[in-house]
Structure 1
Amino acid sequence: MEKYINPWIKKIKQRPFNPQRPEGSVDLYIGENPYPPSPHVLKAIAAAAENINKYPDSAGDAVKEKLAAYTKANKEQIVIGNGSDDLIELMVKVFVKQKEKVIIPIPGYFSYWRSTKIRGGVPVFVNRKDNFELDIEKIVQADAKLVFIGSPNNPTGNIVSQEEIIEILEKMDCIIVVDECYFEFSQNTVIDLLQTYENLIVLRSLSKTFGLAGLRFGYAIAHPTLIQYFNKAIQMYPVNKLAQAAVISSLDDLEYLKANIQKICQEREVLTEKIGDLGFTVYPSETNFLLVRTEALNISGNEIVASLKSNNIFVQNIGLKPGLDAYYFKTAIGTKEENEILLKHLKQIVSNR
């Protein structure tokens, strides 16, 4: 069977699937929104399900019109997909040939290099500085077809300034993708730069902020010419009927979104302070998760994750991921009750050292 498989696919490490968590567990692993969509959105999903025997709108015109109003972009500048991961792979498919390079500042989102490898491209890692800021000098010196920049960045939680993005755009002749999937938490965007730079793409998602992770929806904003090429390469029905209905309804209920964002940000500040009080290093975050360093307590991230898991509390072990050593873990911001359970068990771990 091996002879039928593309050689670059053989080299890709299998990503572990996320198993179903036990009943009653505290799941802070992936970074989902702890709050469900609004009742209006749930009603819209139920109504759309009545016609689930019919294919969805392949163009997604109604969704794009809502997104255009929300982002102040033009409908012709928008492409939609089955989550941001789908669009990341689409971008690699459109721009990158086999053995061509894609620049990825690390630590960064794993899907950037996974999608690059799936398409036979070559991910080029550029280490961030000690404070996780971009090393722009090293980025602009690299030769590549495509650059992925998270802002806010996953897993570090920090933003990239518009001035830094402009510097990269001015000094590089390639496609620059700014991943703003956590925009609603940070309110930091470079969308206005699209009018000046035709090689800029802004990527977003409704999974984390709008609580639609289970439906999978992402979108990108770019020059209309780039969107035309995306539409040539995208699958026939990129977004299902239920997701389209949910997105339209969510964008009609922004007050519900703002209330949930406020609760999450308030809990984030409380959790940051209290985890820090235990002796951990907690990095400032403009997202719904926290990156935590454990070295000061002489305990690895893996030990923390394993101990919490034994109590049905799930956080992410990202130690030894590209750009990180063994002393890190990442936790989502849960509800107040979930965060208190996490803190209780972190205190126990520290006191037992």
Structure 2
Amino acid sequence: MAPYLPPPRLGGGRVISLDANESPFDLPERVRQKFLGRIRRLVFNRYPDGPSTELRRAVGRRLGVPADWIVAGSGSDELIGCLIDAFVPRGGQVVVPDPTFVMYERLARIRGARVVQLPLNESFDLTDAFRNPKLLRGAALWFFAYPNNPTANCFSREILIDICRRAQGVVVVDEAYVDFSGKTFLPLLRRFPNLVILRTFSKALGIALGRVGLAIACPRLTRFLHVVRLPYNLSGLGQALALTTLSESGAIRKNIRTILSERQALLRRLAGWCSDAPSLAACRTDANFVLVRCSAAKKLFEFLRARGILIKTFSETKLRSFVRITVGRPAEMRRLAKALGELEERGCHP
């Protein structure tokens, strides 16, 4: 297995990164100063709070769940690994949709699990193959990104609930983009003791640098996650940054509203562009990004990169004719629109 190497971040203030699904908004100066004030109270020669107690309590108050239902980790990636360590015996089955977030499959294979990849339908939704009785009995762990990355849509809620109800293993619903979809399985945690919900501070909350993730489940499951996680898995700086961000929900809500507004503007722009080009189609989105079918995806990528705009392309066969565009700040989206307009003026459509 080759190393997973994220693309290098290009320097320069004129480069627009619309390729990583991050928030386009950095922390306001007021929040930065508040964070620095919290840092000044840290004791740097001591280890951080191992269970992230204060952070888990703050998140619990925000979400309305007890603190012992929450496990904090160094990003969702660490918690995905912990879930596999805790619930999948070596050689056990892990079920993932195809396509989806690459780290589910990657971390499962690294740990010696057998990965069952089930294709999505033409609308990138779940099929009845996910209700296969043999898998429902035999799979140790199921992963569903909700909304899915890179397709941006929320899967059929009815099928997901049926899987939660019938699966013998643990079902993980990764809600990294919940603030953009408004759809959550959080109220179903008490109904399904095999359900785990993942959340992250890297998307709408805007602190990808801090690498803070959360797993939320009943204590019967979180107890096992605490067994396999490292003793001081989330740095004191990460905890302080997350706590500061949680206290600034007003600024975060404003940023989310802006992203949703810019998402709609992008969809309108793409709809007009696609109407003149049958080879183009923007997929339905519940996230802060849009998947666009594009017969000349690589050419569009190179055209935009030459103008300082980065979008995401894919090497996988089934996604080779797609690009993914993350929603940016208004000024960034205007630059994207100007670049797409330049293509239109040339009479070119990827």
The answer to whether TM tops 0.5 is yes
Instruction: Say whether 1:21 aligns with 2:17.
Output: no
Which consecutive residues of structure 2, in runs of 5 or more, have no partner in the other structure?
275-279
Question: Which residue is 2:330 aligned to?
Answer: 336
Verify the 8 A CA contact 2:125 2:156 in the aligned structure 1: no
Question: Which residue is 1:71 aligned to?
Answer: 63
Verify the 8 A CA contact 1:207 1:217 in the aligned structure 2: yes
Q: Matched residues, percent identical?
A: 27
Question: Which residue is 1:60 aligned to?
Answer: 52
Once residues 214 and 290 of structure 1 are traced to their aligned partners in structure 2, the CA distance between those partners, rounded to angstroms, is 23
What are the equivalent positions in structure 2 for 1:46-125 lying under 5 Å apart?
46-50=36-40, 51=42, 52-125=44-117
Verify the 8 A CA contact 2:142 2:170 in the aligned structure 1: yes
Range 283-292 or range 92-101, more displaced = 92-101
Report how far residue 40 of structure 1 moved: 4.4
Report how far residue 290 of structure 1 moved: 0.8
Report how far residue 193 of structure 1 moved: 1.1
Range 263-272 or range 149-158, more displaced = 149-158
Once residues 319 and 305 of structure 1 are traced to their aligned partners in structure 2, the CA distance between those partners, rounded to angstroms, is 13
Range 261-270 or range 273-282, more displaced = 273-282
What are the equivalent positions in structure 2 for 1:71-220 lying under 5 Å apart?
71-135=63-127, 137-141=128-132, 142=135, 143-220=138-215
Range 180-189 or range 265-274, more displaced = 180-189
Once residues 195 and 339 of structure 1 are traced to their aligned partners in structure 2, the CA distance between those partners, rounded to angstroms, is 41
Verify the 8 A CA contact 1:37 1:211 in the aligned structure 2: yes
Once residues 285 and 45 of structure 2 are traced to their aligned partners in structure 1, the CA distance between those partners, rounded to angstroms, is 43
Cα-to-partner distance string for 1:176-235 (whole Å, 9 max, x where unaligned): 000001111112111111111111100110111110001110001111021111111101
Once residues 49 and 260 of structure 2 are traced to their aligned partners in structure 1, the CA distance between those partners, rounded to angstroms, is 35
Opposite residue 86 of structure 1, the aligned amino acid is E
Which consecutive residues of structure 1, in runs of 5 or more, have no partner in the other structure?
1-11
Range 140-149 or range 331-340, more displaced = 140-149
User: What TM-score comes out, normalization by structure 1 length?
Assistant: 0.90
Verify the 8 A CA contact 2:201 2:207 in the aligned structure 1: yes
Report how far residue 319 of structure 1 moved: 5.1
Report how far residue 291 of structure 1 moved: 0.6
User: What TM-score comes out, normalization by structure 2 length?
Assistant: 0.91
Question: Which residue is 2:282 aligned to?
Answer: 282
Cα-to-partner distance string for 1:255-312 (whole Å, 9 max, x where unaligned): 11111000000000001110221123111211111111113xxx2x222112222222
Verify the 8 A CA contact 2:126 2:156 in the aligned structure 1: no
Cα-to-partner distance string for 1:134-157 (whole Å, 9 max, x where unaligned): 11x201213421110111111111
Verify the 8 A CA contact 2:147 2:286 in the aligned structure 1: yes
Opposite residue 121 of structure 2, the aligned amino acid is K
Report how far residue 99 of structure 1 moved: 2.1
Cα-to-partner distance string for 1:96-144 (whole Å, 9 max, x where unaligned): 2222221111121011111111111122111111111111x20121342
Once residues 28 and 339 of structure 1 are traced to their aligned partners in structure 2, the CA distance between those partners, rounded to angstroms, is 9
- Equivalent residue in structure 1 for 2:236, among 235, 238, 241: 241
Q: CA RMSD, aligned part only?
A: 1.6
Runs of 4 or more above 6 Å deviation:
none
Question: Which residue is 1:269 aligned to?
Answer: 264
Report how far residue 352 of structure 1 moved: 5.2
Number of corresponding residues: 335
Give the match's secondary structure for 2:173.
strand
Verify the 8 A CA contact 2:282 2:292 in the aligned structure 1: yes
Opposite residue 140 of structure 1, the aligned amino acid is R
Give the match's secondary structure for 1:331.
strand
Give the match's secondary structure for 1:133.
coil
Instruction: Say whether 1:309 aligns with 2:298.
Output: no
